[in-house]
Amino acid sequence: MAVYLHEEDLPEGVLAPGPVAVDTETMGLITPRDRLCLVQISDGRGDEHLVRFGPGSRFDAPNLKAVLADPARVKLYHFARFDLAAIEHYMGVVAAPVFCTKIASKLVRTYTDRHGLKDLVRELLGKELSKQQQSSDWGGPELSEAQREYAASDVRYLHAMQVILAERLEREGRSAIAQAAFDFLPYRARLDLMGWPDKDIFSHEA
């Protein structure tokens, strides 16, 4: 198992076919303001690849974009809504189709209100994640070893958790509604980008 850091694009041919786990790191939580700094990606076979974008990047990353936009590859996320918005805004691609472990968790782990990645990894896989670097400066000239490990760990376990959560969705008869929610996520992310991040447009309330 290794963590690889790349500048401005993913090398060609480093990912095996099939689903890929994806995550992003940005300068903050307001997508149009806080630039995309890092895209993490893994094919689930033990290695994680970190693609770093510098200040002023044009995000010309043809290899990474091809993977993210590939309709034959399912992209696994935890809280896909944020990552989809960041990728579309900065890279100009819709990184779908989607499986979101956070939404799946909310649909089947109704016995708890703890749906963070750390909680899921602990319960489903019996492993502990450190979140100490969550709020660090991702736009600096160098990434520390702690930052690299944190970023890699965000995609390291998504394949294993997807299998477990998909089985639970099937068991509880909620696979179809989960898939419908996953299919809507790119549009939910686009609504965020268009100015409706905090409004439920389906609500009766104004």
Q: What is the DSSP string of 84-97?
A: HHHHHHHH-----S
Question: Measured between alpha carbons, how far is 121 from 105 in angstroms, rounded to an integer?
Answer: 11
Q: Would residue 203 count as lying in a domain?
A: no
Q: Would residue 127 count as lying in a domain?
A: yes
Q: Would residue 66 count as lying in a domain?
A: yes
Question: Measured between alpha carbons, how far is 32 from 49 in angstroms, rounded to an integer?
Answer: 25
> How much is the pLDDT for 80?
98
What string of pLDDT tens digits covers the 206 residues of the chain? 899 999 999 999 999 999 999 999 999 999 999 999 999 999 999 999 999 999 999 999 999 999 999 999 999 999 999 999 999 999 999 999 999 999 999 999 999 999 999 999 999 999 998 777 667 899 999 999 999 999 999 999 999 999 999 999 999 999 999 999 999 999 999 999 999 998 889 999 86
What is the DSSP code string of the chain? --EEEEESSPPTT-S-SS-EEEEEEESSS-TTTS-EEEEEEE-SSS-EEEEE--TT-----HHHHHHHH-TTSPEEESSHHHHHHHHHHHH-----SEEEHHHHHHHH-TT-S--SHHHHIIIII------TTTTS-TTSSS--HHHHHHHHHHHHTHHHHHHHHHHHHHHTT-HHHHHHHHHHHHHHHHHHHHT-SS--TTSS--
Q: Would residue 162 count as lying in a domain?
A: yes
Q: Would residue 202 count as lying in a domain?
A: no
Q: Would residue 123 count as lying in a domain?
A: yes
> How much is the pLDDT for 133?
67
> How much is the pLDDT for 206?
66
Instruction: State which residues form the domain around 150.
Output: 3-194
Number of domains in the chain: 1
Q: Would residue 204 count as lying in a domain?
A: no
**CATH (domain of 115):** 3.30.420.10
> How much is the pLDDT for 205?
83
What is the sign, positive or negative, of the torsion defined by CA atoms of 27, 28, 31, 32? negative
Q: Would residue 205 count as lying in a domain?
A: no
Find how far residue 47's CA is from the centre of its chain: 16
